[in-house]
Structure 1
Amino acid sequence: MPRQIFQLRISLAGVRPPVWRRVLVPGGYTLDRLHRVVQHAMGWRDCHLHSFEIDGVQYGTPDPDDGLALRDELDTRLDTAVGKGSRFHYTYDFGDWWEHDLVVEDVLTADPDGRYPACLDGERACPPEDVGGPAGYLLLLEALADPEHPEHDAMRDWLGRPFDASAFDAGRAGTLLRRFC
């Protein structure tokens, strides 16, 4: 049977203008591997906890001490949990609470010469880690855009590097996916 490839659109909820990615992922990937795809495609650094929600069921890395009822993401394959047209959610960083909407746009037959996972497209840079969720990110963007903003210097210092919110390089994201996923 030919290998199935899932075309997913990953959108960061609560952020305008939209931050999104379109990726191709083997259907045989476990949700643990899909977590790594989301991390590298979006530009996160995998510093925080995460979970998936599919049809009301939570998946992640179970920890008997945290009291969360999570199914083990290592035991669940993408192609057994979702199909074409499915919508599901991925939450990253339970403090900042970054919610991602995932849509299975298509299920394709793998190209024998194709390399997967792959990033086809996307827009805008991922917010910096620990910025404070969507509200903190909005404040960061406002402060950086206005040198007269009372938080301008503090936010620039906190970032410690240049930040271009409009920047996204699908080729770079694809290289990271192939290297680390």
Structure 2
Amino acid sequence: MLEVFLIDGPITEEFAAENPVVSRTIEIKGSNTLADLHKIIFKAFDRQDEHLYEFQVGGNGPQDPNAKRYCLKQAFSSSAPGPTGDLSTTSIATVGLSIDDAFGYWFDFGDDWWHQIDVINIQDLAQSGKYPKITKRVGASPPQYADFD
């Protein structure tokens, strides 16, 4: 079980005041990929337009330059340290997560939506049903493109 917190992005002061915490709880199987995790986060935060994204695992949370980076192949840059792997083929089980770990998810490299993902629980066997799935929502979803008048 993962808890995904929105920690930064283009939100208005009014939205932030009305929604001091914006998080989603997600259940996902170890066999699901990081791309599957992106898709359920995308859905959980009611986004409409796809953009580039990456996960940062094994550091001290989001934006840690020492974390392993998992990106889409087209997001690879020759100027930055190379990514660890392709998130479309990397399963959740293979990135080495433990309970109480925190890792980063960066969506839209222009608007810079930053999320911290906390590992709440890891179970050996999943209950029946479709995964991944959203099990809890705290706070409203911010508009993907804020209107800053």
TM range (shorter): 0.7 to 0.9
Instruction: Flag the 1:64–1:49 CA change in 2: closer, same or farther, 3 A.
Output: closer
Distance, in Å, in 2 between the alignment partners of 1:64 and 1:110 is 32
Post-superposition offset of 1:28: 0.7
Task: Provide TM-score, normalisation by structure 2.
Answer: 0.75
Instruction: Flag the 1:29–1:46 CA change in 2: closer, same or farther, 3 A.
Output: farther
Instruction: Flag the 1:64–1:85 CA change in 2: closer, same or farther, 3 A.
Output: closer
Instruction: Flag the 1:122–1:64 CA change in 2: closer, same or farther, 3 A.
Output: closer
Higher-RCO chain (CA-CA 8 Å, sequence separation at least 6): 2
Correspondence 1:117 to 2:132: yes
Correspondence 1:25 to 2:20: no
SS in 2 for 1:10: strand
- 1:127 is matched with 142
Superposed CA offset, 1:70-95 (max 9, x none)? 32112311011123222110000111
Query: Equivalent residues in 2 for 1:18-167 (5 A)?
Result: 18-55=21-58, 56-63=67-74, 66-67=77-78, 69-70=82-83, 71-81=85-95, 82-108=97-123, 109-112=125-128, 114-131=129-146, 140=148, 151=149
Aligned-pair RMSD on alpha carbons?
2.0
- Identity in percent: 28
Query: Does the CA contact (< 8 Å) of 2:7 and 2:114 recur in 1?
Result: yes
Q: Which runs of 4+ in 1 moved over 6 A?
A: none
Aligned residues: 127
Structure showing greater Rg = 1
Ranges in structure 2 where 5+ consecutive residues have no aligned partner: 9-15, 59-66
Distance, in Å, in 1 between the alignment partners of 2:132 and 2:76 is 33
Distance, in Å, in 2 between the alignment partners of 1:102 and 1:22 is 9
- 1:174 is matched with none
Moved more, 52-61 or 116-125: 116-125
Superposed CA offset, 1:74-129 (max 9, x none)? 231101112322211000011111101001100122113x3322211111222212
Instruction: Flag the 1:117–1:65 CA change in 2: closer, same or farther, 3 A.
Output: closer
Instruction: Specify which structure has the higher proportion of helix.
Output: 1
Distance, in Å, in 2 between the alignment partners of 1:65 and 1:115 is 32
Task: Provide TM-score, normalisation by structure 1.
Answer: 0.63
Post-superposition offset of 1:11: 0.3
